[in-house]
Chain A
Amino acid sequence: MSQFRHGDVMVEEVATLPDTRRKAQHTILAHGELTGHCHRIAERGAADLYDTPDGLFLHVTAEVATLVHDEHDAITLTSGFYRVWRQREYSPEEIRTIRD
Chain B
Amino acid sequence: MIMTPLQAREHVLAGESKAVRVDGSIDLSGTEVKTVPCSITCNDLDLSGTAITSLSSKVKVRSRLTLDNCKHLERLPTGLTCGSLSLRGCNFLDRLPERLNTWFLNASECPRLSVWPKEATIRNGNVHLRNCIEVRNLPRWLGPLGQLDLAGCVNLHEVPEGLRVSGWIDIGGSSIASLPNSLRTAPLRWRSVPVTHEIAFEPEKITSKQVLAEKNAELRRVMIERMGYLRFSEEVGAKELDQDTDAGGNRQLLQIELGDDEPLVGLACRCPSTNRQYFLRVPPQMKTCHQAAAWMAGFDDPSLYRPTIET
Contact = CB atoms under 8 A, between A and B. Distances in A.
Given A22-B92, A33-B175, A72-B273, A4 B309 contact: yes
B100 to A, nearest CB: 22
Contact of A2 (B261, B298, B308, B310): B308
Contacts of A34: 175
B297 A10 contact: yes
A14 B305 CA distance: 14
Contact of B298 (A33, A87, A91, A96): A87
| Chain B, interface SS category | loop
Interface in A67-100: 71-75, 85, 87-94, 96, 98-99
Contacts of B272: 73
B99 interface: no
A72 B276 CA distance: 11
A53 B161 CA distance: 36
B91 A53 contact: yes
B143 interface: no
Chain A: interface residue count, which band? Answer: 20 to 34
Contact of A87 (B92, B173, B296): B296
B229 to A, nearest CB: 10
Interface in A1-24: 2-7, 10, 20, 22
B75 interface: no
A1 B301 CA distance: 16
B311 A5 contact: yes
B215 interface: no
Contacts of A10: 297-298, 307
Interface stretch (B18-26, B57-65, B231-239, B280-288): B280-288
Interface centre among A6, A7, A89, A98 (most CB of B within 10 A): A89
A31 interface: yes
A51 interface: yes
B72 A20 contact: yes
A4 B311 CA distance: 8
Nearest to A99: B154
A96 B173 contact: yes
Interface string B124-138: 000000010100000
B61 to A, nearest CB: 25
18 contacts: A3-B308, A5-B297, A6-B311, A7-B311, A10-B297, A34-B175, A53-B92, A71-B274, A72-B271, A87-B280, A88-B295, A90-B283, A91-B225, A92-B221, A93-B221, A96-B131, A96-B173, A98-B280
Q: Which 9 A-B pairs have the closest CB atoms?
A: A73-B311, A53-B71, A72-B273, A5-B310, A3-B307, A5-B307, A33-B154, A90-B281, A33-B155
Interface of B: 71-72, 74, 91-92, 112, 131, 133, 152, 154-155, 173, 175, 191-192, 218, 221, 225, 261-262, 271-274, 280-283, 295-298, 305-311
